Structure 1
Amino acid sequence: MPMLALPFPTIDPVLIEIGPFALRWYALSYIVGILLAWRYMRAAATNDRLWGTAPRPSPADIDDFVMWGTIGIVVGGRLGYVLFYNPAYYLAHPLEAFAVWTGGMSFHGGFAGTVIAMVLFTRARRFPVWTLFDLAGIAAPIGLFFGRLANFINGELWGRITDVPWGVVFPTGGPEPRHPSQLYEAALEGVLLFFVLRLLSHRFGLLCRPAFLAGAFAFGYGVTRSVSELFRMPDAHIGFFAGGLTMGIVLSVPMILAGLAAMLWAWRRSDAR
């Protein structure tokens, strides 16, 4: 082990185990992320200063949506991982596709699943679907932050080999120190993106322009994820694409383009009123 490398901290991936019941850090990260995101969305929806005359969901609407959103995240995230990252394995072991507690979730799949859940949920509600997209967008970095911390605790999705003094030797990553790319993603996709979106929503009042903040989230996530991919090691069974691209970058490009389009559309639409 190089002198400057940091050993991987000894953290049991199982937080509590009582008989057959085991609560893993991975599952806990989803629970905490969803609960905090729910409370944040609720607080934003009840802040009159942020909305002006724009229609918005009631606190009860936010409460009702939590279950819809959770199903969209879990089902979409798992299905995305199965289809995008390891289809051959799960085709040979189909029952393991349901073992979400073992890890293996795709953000891009979870994003798609949540979008579908929001569209279905708002069909019978009295506010635009874009408004729910905006609220979910400003809260999503909370869940991303906790999810990436759980990836680090699980010792998965580690980075490329490095000689930086904070390189970490992961138990399953060989003897070489690697970038703790999970922590980079927690900082970029979680902390940085959260504060940028909070500035846009609370300081500049952009919740009054439906679709802008949803676009800002999609764009911001796509950019920060692409930056993180420069340090993250792609899945061994996928590897690099032409030009050094990774699956994470390939899936993020449409989000960047869609985010830009949504922000431009929201700005022009609001100015045209």
Structure 2
Amino acid sequence: MPPLLVLPFPAIDPVIVEFGPFALRWYALAYIVGIILAWRYMRALVLNHRLWGSIGRPSLVQLDDFVLWGTLGIIIGGRLGYVLFYNPAYYLANPMEAFAIWTGGMSFHGGFAGTVVAMLLFAWRRDLSVWTMFDLAGCAAPIGLFFGRIANFINSELWGRPSDVPWAVVFPNAGPDPRHPSQLYEAALEGIVLFLVLRLLSHRFKLLKKPGFLAGAFACGYGITRSISELFRVPDAHIGYLGGFFTMGILLSLPMILGGLAAMIWASSRNSAATAG
């Protein structure tokens, strides 16, 4: 039975403006806005002295310097993750295409790994607590995730499975079937909900005073929200379902959930022992 209501896909051009060979796309703008707002939020956290107690934190100048490191980690890691996890055979046959990031194809899990490497190197070079850097980045990351998922929706990519829910959308490049707007589900869960949870943990429970806890909460929270979203999203056509049920997104999220839980337990026990001592 067809749905009673189907939402038309908004006719939004993926290209905002063109100047000769240069084109500004919504996807690129989402990365720019997400990184800038995440950086500003990290600065606000550092300036809020009541959240930290005696815990050391980076200076504003050091945070400003980290923006370039983090941006490179996101872009290089995100692209490399997509090439290795989602379409290795194609890029093995067409190696130069791996550098064409403007054609699309970025992996959050790869970007996450790239950012972790960037933070490790930056903390080592500047003699900072890497766990505090992880915490700050974890609190701010949902901002970028929100804008990235909105850009996925505008690009009509990563759409959901066929559905008869009243808010189903007919995507222009996904056939005639109404589908879950899974990109918006991810924007809500990975972006808004996860941001509010981490905001509560950092401001209400002052968990920046336990270095590593909020980083673990982000990793675990992202893994859970991404896995939920994957239940409504069509897996990549060249990969399909793994084991008859799992998608690549779920499999890559499982280590994040387990690692996040381990980090939260470790941070709680470590800081509790330090307090007792």
What's the secondary structure of 2:17's corresponding residue?
strand
1:3 Cα deviation after fit: 5.1
What percentage of aligned pairs have identical amino acids?
74
- Whether 1:261 and 2:268 are equivalent positions in the alignment is no
1:2 Cα deviation after fit: 5.5
Which one-letter code corresponds to 1:41 in the other structure?
M
Counterpart of 1:120 in structure 2 is: 121
Alignment of 1:102-121 (within 5 A): 102-121=103-122
1:127 Cα deviation after fit: 2.4
- Whether 1:91 and 2:99 are equivalent positions in the alignment is no
Counterpart of 1:78 in structure 2 is: 79
What is the CA–CA distance in structure 1 between the aligned matches of 2:125 and 2:98, rounded to whole Å? Answer: 32
Cα-to-partner distance string for 1:55-79 (whole Å, 9 max, x where unaligned): 1000011000000000000000000
Counterpart of 1:237 in structure 2 is: 238
What is the CA–CA distance in structure 1 between the aligned matches of 2:220 and 2:185, rounded to whole Å? Answer: 18
Which one-letter code corresponds to 2:10 in the other structure?
P
What's the secondary structure of 1:31's corresponding residue?
helix
Counterpart of 1:217 in structure 2 is: 218
Q: Which runs of 5+ in 2 are unaligned?
A: none
Q: 1:26·1:101 contact (CA, 8 Å) conserved in 2?
A: no
1:8 Cα deviation after fit: 1.1
Give RMSD over aligned pairs: 1.0
Counterpart of 2:17 in structure 1 is: 16
Q: 1:185·1:225 contact (CA, 8 Å) conserved in 2?
A: yes
What is the CA–CA distance in structure 2 between the aligned matches of 1:104 and 1:7, rounded to whole Å? Answer: 25
Q: Which runs of 5+ in 1 are unaligned?
A: none
Counterpart of 2:132 in structure 1 is: 131
Q: 2:74·2:111 contact (CA, 8 Å) conserved in 1?
A: yes
Q: TM-score, normalised by structure 1?
A: 0.98
1:243 Cα deviation after fit: 4.2
Counterpart of 2:143 in structure 1 is: 142
What is the CA–CA distance in structure 2 between the aligned matches of 1:88 and 1:7, rounded to whole Å? Answer: 35
Give structure 1 regions of 4+ aligned residues with deviation exceeding 3 angstroms: none
What is the CA–CA distance in structure 2 between the aligned matches of 1:105 and 1:60, rounded to whole Å? Answer: 29
Which one-letter code corresponds to 2:186 in the other structure?
E
Count of paired positions: 273
Q: 1:24·1:101 contact (CA, 8 Å) conserved in 2?
A: no
Which one-letter code corresponds to 1:149 in the other structure?
I
1:102 Cα deviation after fit: 2.0
1:174 Cα deviation after fit: 0.8
Counterpart of 1:158 in structure 2 is: 159
1:124 Cα deviation after fit: 2.3
